[in-house]
Chain A
Amino acid sequence: MNNARATQSTQAQERAPTDWKTVAMQRRIRKRYRAERRFRFFGIAAVVLSAAFLAFLLVTMVAQGWRGFTRTEIMLPIDFPASGMMVERAQLDTAGADLALAGAGLENAVKSAAAAAFGPGGESYISDNAWVSVRKAIKHDASVLDRKTQMRVPASSEVDQAMAGRGTSEILAAVAKLKNAGLVSRHLNLDFLKVSDSTDPVAVGIWGALKGSLLTMFVTFLIAFPVGVLSAIYLEEYAPRNRWTDLIEVSINNLAAVPSIIFGLLGLAVFLGSWSLFGYRVGPLLPRSAALVGGLTLALMIMPVIVIASRNAIKAVPPSIRDAALGIGASPIQVVFHHVLPLAMPGILTGTIIGMARALGETAPLLLIGMRAFIVTPPGGLTDPATVLPVQIFLWSDEVSRGFVEKTSAAIIVLLVFLLAMNGLAIYLRNKFETRW
């Protein structure tokens, strides 16, 4: 305090010492406090608002989506001996069991059982796939074929909706009666995670899209991470600084901002297009709708993000570390791989995960390269037709059938969990590689 006054008086001899108690000073202090309070209020308001949005999203998703993980099941009395089905018992233990049961008219037998149990039109109470559960039960225990029995089978979409209070008055009344008799109920059903797309909302599953996403992310990571990191290393550590590298830098920064749909068009043209070269027709190089093409396209898209993040992380490594290693005779490549890269790794990984998360949620470019097909069997490999989670969500949200609403929400939950898992992995890796100085 004294000091400050002393320097002030040497600078301006004639100035009187500052009086901190004047009205103007008090007003300035009050104003400062007000500004402080105002800023804090807006800060808290912003945080609360975003937290509220997030909570709203999560609550609505979970509220709608949890039903996606359950299934309405209906108790179906079925009298096999009376159904007139002829099944060769010996075949039930072989690989041909499915075929034998289908050939014996199981599907019709189940439908007539439903009609018999629930009255005329009763077959519409059970899911089109109900006979598949019956088949499973028979394969599990063939002795049911000899008696009259009861089985829980998936209910149809109408019954399912009626359970939620939607539908015509007749079906609502019928379902209410069944419900009171304890014949229809909802059960946790993780088939949603095990099966793939279907036209019947009761029977759809997310597994095909999830597997498609996994395969696509795998390809994206495998291409974008090494290429991106190596480019960053080259540009930071080796490339001369001249107009060409400046140009490359500007291009990469611009590429990071290019809308994703443009990358879809690029992927479409490069991987799926065909050109004539020297009079020969070349292409398409890769199959449509495949995870391989999707992964390559998304890799193109996130590479600039990885390059930029990696360059910044590499730049942040103190030059003295490079000097130290060079000074005892480490070669440039040893400097990079022994010292710079390990220190830059946390930053590189953070950038990579941000890019991967963006790729995971990307829909538009994948629609362009044909990953919007109706895929009933999960892709077996990188070149099989596949779809991915966000595209599946997009497709289901477009369905008119009411039953798809909750499945869409359930798929969103799966996507969010996937994203969380990826971020969790990133945080784990970052902490693992973090160097304590």
Chain B
Amino acid sequence: MTDAPHKMTARDVSVFYGEKQAVKNVSIDIDMDRVTAFIGPSGCGKSTFLRTLNRMNDTIGNARVEGQITLDGEDIYSSGMDVVQLRARVGMVFQKPNPFPKSIFENVAYGPRIHGLANSKADLEEIVARSLRRAGLWEEVKDRLNDSGTALSGGQQQRLCIARAIAVDPEVILMDEPASALDPIATAKIEELIHELRGRYAIVIVTHNMQQAARVSQRTAFFHLGNLVEYGDTDNIFTAPREERTKDYITGRYG
């Protein structure tokens, strides 16, 4: 299990917003058959680091990335890397739900359509239905696929975004607090989904919920002020953290 090559690796990655360094020399490995959880106090750079993994930071004018990140051994910041393809292979669910102001069907169908993943209308409908089912949204929206995606509740919107991300069948899925707007039942559905997807996709999830990190992940990384403080098996982090700061945070003594 541990001998398999890492799906993604990060080596000495630093991210700067102008002069300000938001992520400091982070090295981490992400494996295919494990869920990796990023935890840490607000503003510590989790989202920033996550966005470097599919180069979403490129869109921020003053953001600069140093260090090396690879996907299947290939440097994703090298000039030969096609960013569009990279983002199709490394999908992302954002912290704030951001459905397109289009119909529910169109939201999910958009990715497969631009990448030519469906070879017929029936095929496309099948992909949409499967993605919505996996995201735990199908039962609620199956009768109104033509309604606007923005007319859904916040939690439904987030699941729609998850369905949209998995519809393109990525290899890695980056989730930035996907359950922060969800009720416990929907959250359980998402966690179930993560369990189901594990093994097929490499999954990275940012969460503020310690129980959730403990439940869904096999590896946990604790960030603090831009540093990766501790990274290891989830069981170890939660039962026997090596660092004092980690212990303080997970026991809630730390804000």
Q: Contact residues of A with B, CB < 8 Å?
A: 241, 318-331, 334, 338-339, 343, 435-437
B100 touches A328 (CB 8 A): no
B100 touches A327 (CB 8 A): no
Chain B residues, CB < 8 A from A320: 94, 96, 98
22 contacts between A and B (CB under 8 A): A318-B98, A319-B59, A321-B101, A324-B99, A324-B161, A325-B100, A325-B110, A326-B59, A327-B91, A328-B88, A328-B114, A328-B164, A328-B165, A329-B86, A329-B87, A329-B88, A329-B89, A329-B91, A330-B84, A330-B110, A331-B84, A436-B150
Chain A residues, CB < 8 A from B161: 324
Q: Which residue of A lies closest to B87 (CB)?
A: A329
A328 touches B99 (CB 8 A): no
Q: Which residue of A lies closest to B165 (CB)?
A: A328
Interface status of B236 (Cβ within 8 A of chain A): no
Shortest CB distance A409–B (Å) = 47
Contact of A326 among B56, B150, B167 (CB under 8 A): B56
**Interchain CA distance A328-B93 in the complex, whole Å:** 9
Chain A residues, CB < 8 A from B165: 327-328
Interface status of B85 (Cβ within 8 A of chain A): yes
Q: Which residue of B lies closest to A318 (CB)?
A: B98
Q: Interface digits, B184-203 against A, CB 8 Å rule (1 contact, 0 not)?
A: 00000000000000000000
Chain A residues, CB < 8 A from B110: 325, 328, 330, 338
Chain B residues, CB < 8 A from A339: 100
B61 touches A435 (CB 8 A): no
Q: Contacts A322-B59, A323-B56, A323-B59 known; A328 to B91 CB distance under 8 Å? A: yes
> From DSSP, what is the main secondary structure of chain A's interface residues?
helix
A329 touches B96 (CB 8 A): no
**Interchain CA distance A251-B81 in the complex, whole Å:** 37
A324 touches B94 (CB 8 A): yes
- A-B contacts besides A324-B100, A328-B92, A435-B101, 4 pairs, CB < 8 Å: A323-B98, A327-B87, A328-B88, A338-B114
Q: Contacts A436-B101, A436-B148 known; A327 to B61 CB distance under 8 Å? A: no
> From DSSP, what is the main secondary structure of chain B's interface residues?
helix
A329 touches B85 (CB 8 A): yes
Shortest CB distance A313–B (Å) = 15
Chain B residues, CB < 8 A from A330: 84, 110-111, 114
Within 8 A of A (CB), among B137-179: 148, 150, 161, 164-165, 167-168
**Interchain CA distance A322-B96 in the complex, whole Å:** 13
Interface status of B115 (Cβ within 8 A of chain A): yes
B101 touches A326 (CB 8 A): no
Chain B residues, CB < 8 A from A321: 98, 100-101
Within 8 A of A (CB), among B61-94: 61, 84-89, 91-92, 94
Interface status of B48 (Cβ within 8 A of chain A): no
Interface status of B217 (Cβ within 8 A of chain A): no
Within 8 A of A (CB), among B95-126: 96, 98-101, 110-111, 114-115
Interface centre among B54, B87, B148, B168 (most CB of A within 10 A): B87
**Interchain CA distance A46-B104 in the complex, whole Å:** 47
Chain A residues, CB < 8 A from B164: 324, 328
Chain A residues, CB < 8 A from B61: 241
B114 touches A324 (CB 8 A): no
**Interchain CA distance A331-B86 in the complex, whole Å:** 11
Shortest CB distance B138–A (Å) = 19
A326 touches B148 (CB 8 A): no
Shortest CB distance A234–B (Å) = 16
Q: Which residue of A lies closest to B148 (CB)?
A: A436
B101 touches A327 (CB 8 A): no
Shortest CB distance A340–B (Å) = 11
**Interchain CA distance A343-B88 in the complex, whole Å:** 24
**Interchain CA distance A305-B79 in the complex, whole Å:** 38
Chain B residues, CB < 8 A from A436: 101, 148, 150
B101 touches A334 (CB 8 A): no
Chain A residues, CB < 8 A from B114: 328-330, 334, 338
**Interchain CA distance A237-B100 in the complex, whole Å:** 19
Shortest CB distance A398–B (Å) = 53
A329 touches B101 (CB 8 A): no
**Interchain CA distance A328-B92 in the complex, whole Å:** 7
A343 touches B101 (CB 8 A): yes
**Interchain CA distance A338-B109 in the complex, whole Å:** 13
**Interchain CA distance A322-B59 in the complex, whole Å:** 9
Chain B residues, CB < 8 A from A322: 59
Shortest CB distance B162–A (Å) = 11
Chain B residues, CB < 8 A from A324: 94, 98-100, 161, 164
Chain B residues, CB < 8 A from A326: 56, 59, 87
**Interchain CA distance A21-B164 in the complex, whole Å:** 61
Chain A residues, CB < 8 A from B148: 436-437
**Interchain CA distance A330-B164 in the complex, whole Å:** 13
Chain A residues, CB < 8 A from B84: 329-331
Q: Which residue of B lies closest to A334 (CB)?
A: B114
Q: Which residue of B lies closest to A343 (CB)?
A: B101
**Interchain CA distance A133-B167 in the complex, whole Å:** 73
**Interchain CA distance A287-B184 in the complex, whole Å:** 74
**Interchain CA distance A284-B157 in the complex, whole Å:** 61
Q: Which residue of A lies closest to B58 (CB)?
A: A326
Shortest CB distance B206–A (Å) = 14
Shortest CB distance B94–A (Å) = 6
Chain A residues, CB < 8 A from B168: 328-329
Interface centre among A318, A322, A323 (most CB of B within 10 A): A323
Chain B residues, CB < 8 A from A241: 61
Chain B residues, CB < 8 A from A435: 101
Contact of A328 among B96, B101, B111, B150 (CB under 8 A): B111
Chain A residues, CB < 8 A from B86: 329
Shortest CB distance A337–B (Å) = 11
Q: Which residue of A lies closest to B94 (CB)?
A: A323
Shortest CB distance B252–A (Å) = 29
B150 touches A437 (CB 8 A): yes
Chain A residues, CB < 8 A from B94: 320, 323-324, 327
A329 touches B59 (CB 8 A): no
Q: Which residue of B lies closest to A320 (CB)?
A: B98
Shortest CB distance A345–B (Å) = 12
**Interchain CA distance A436-B94 in the complex, whole Å:** 22
Chain A residues, CB < 8 A from B99: 324
Chain A residues, CB < 8 A from B96: 320
